[in-house]
Chain A
């Protein structure tokens, strides 16, 4: 049979739509995981015991169980308590929270490694601890974790294929559907792989741009 890419153009629109879903879900989940990571880190480090302990349990759940299970829980499980989320939203929340917990670990370490003198200088000017964290410590911590967080975001992109199990026609599922019609698995899986690669390149480009912007202010 051999490889024959001549069937590709006919189904390209389906693949491209899947691509758009993958990009959209990834970007939305990445943003959620970034800001969620900051919030989680602050809770883990500074919240009173009564908030910190239950939060730890939730964080452990997100780190210690498969993402697949978490997606099932959010999409199928929550319906039972009356929360019926659209699959895309459930996917974004699942991916976002899952990676927020990972990002939070990185951000916590970074916050703790910001020089103590920074907090002192801010407090000396009269800022409260919260104000000092927000304006002085966290911005510096976040700068330090851009590279490792970027790695997490690449992992997030790859794991976004998992939301296909709750029926979101993202890139991988779109490829599968086209293959169901054409019986051309090799061509369309390769095509999907190529698209993932291109999205990857785009993410690396964004990362470099952010890093260049902050390289001055170290």
Chain B
């Protein structure tokens, strides 16, 4: 590791689909407990970068390191599968469209992976599901199916499901973009609570206000490169790059 404090380290990340370069040599380092926001227009590569961290979208070049272990190391297929499953257990991910398992209740959604992968007993898993769903304020909905929950509730269950694996790192891929405006806040609150508990988080978002209030650092991405990064107070109020200014101006207009 180049930097002792760096917990997540992305080195020269490249991703290309044929001749289309989605990520062009991106490096990024995140310290433990840090919260990093990634903003940018759609197609800027921000989701691809996030999904490269747990190898959901494998990079075509570069390295991803988590807590001293390389995530995307070259291994024979079988060994790699074992390795990546191990790594993914340490990284929670929350999706724009929740991706809850519709044939399972909230409880079953939360307890399935810990039971299968960590060998928890029924009782332990039930206690864990109760604890995690209580944490996101949904204990009373524990035996509801996803189809019986609102969007905000679904996303909170999805966060509880990710947290049940006790991840070292949480990735949020536009977690509130698919929600009705009045449901956004309940999800943001859960994320704020995680921030207070010093969870390391990387958050891809369209919500500038939320990013400004939660993140320690914000990256602005455009066309596969990090155009600018810095503390939100500076990046949002006094960006140095014309492209950042342009994006923020358009976004502000859009919000009105």
Contact = CB atoms under 8 A, between A and B. Distances in A.
Given A216-B145, A216-B147, A218-B147, A125 B101 contact: no
A174 to B, nearest CB: 42
A140 interface: yes
A218 B95 contact: no
A140 B145 CA distance: 14
A128 interface: yes
Nearest to A136: B101
B165 interface: yes
A121 interface: yes
B12 to A, nearest CB: 24
Contact of B116 (A115, A135, A217): A135
Interface in A114-145: 115, 117-118, 120-129, 131, 135-136, 139-140, 143
Contacts of B102: 140, 217-218
A215 B56 CA distance: 31
B99 interface: yes
A12 interface: no
B10 interface: no
A123 B104 contact: no
B116 A121 contact: no
B93 A124 contact: yes
A132 B74 CA distance: 23
A90 B1 CA distance: 65
Nearest to B89: A126
A214 interface: yes
Contacts, number: 72
Nearest to A116: B99
Interface residues of B, number: 30
Interface in B156-201: 158, 161-162, 165
A199 to B, nearest CB: 30
A135 B89 contact: no
B153 interface: no
Nearest to A215: B147
Contacts of B100: 121
Interface in B40-78: 54, 56
A117 B101 CA distance: 10
A218 B102 CA distance: 5
A126 B113 contact: yes
B11 interface: no
B240 interface: no
A103 B162 CA distance: 35
B147 A125 contact: no
Per CB-CB distance, the 10 closest pairs between chain A and chain B, nearest first, are A126-B89, A121-B99, A125-B113, A117-B99, A124-B93, A217-B103, A126-B88, A126-B85, A217-B145, A139-B103
21 contacts: A121-B93, A121-B100, A121-B101, A122-B113, A125-B113, A125-B161, A125-B162, A126-B85, A126-B86, A126-B89, A127-B113, A127-B116, A128-B85, A131-B116, A135-B112, A135-B116, A136-B101, A140-B101, A140-B102, A143-B103, A216-B148
Interface of B: 54, 56, 81, 85-86, 88-89, 91-93, 95, 97, 99-105, 112-113, 116-117, 145, 147-148, 158, 161-162, 165
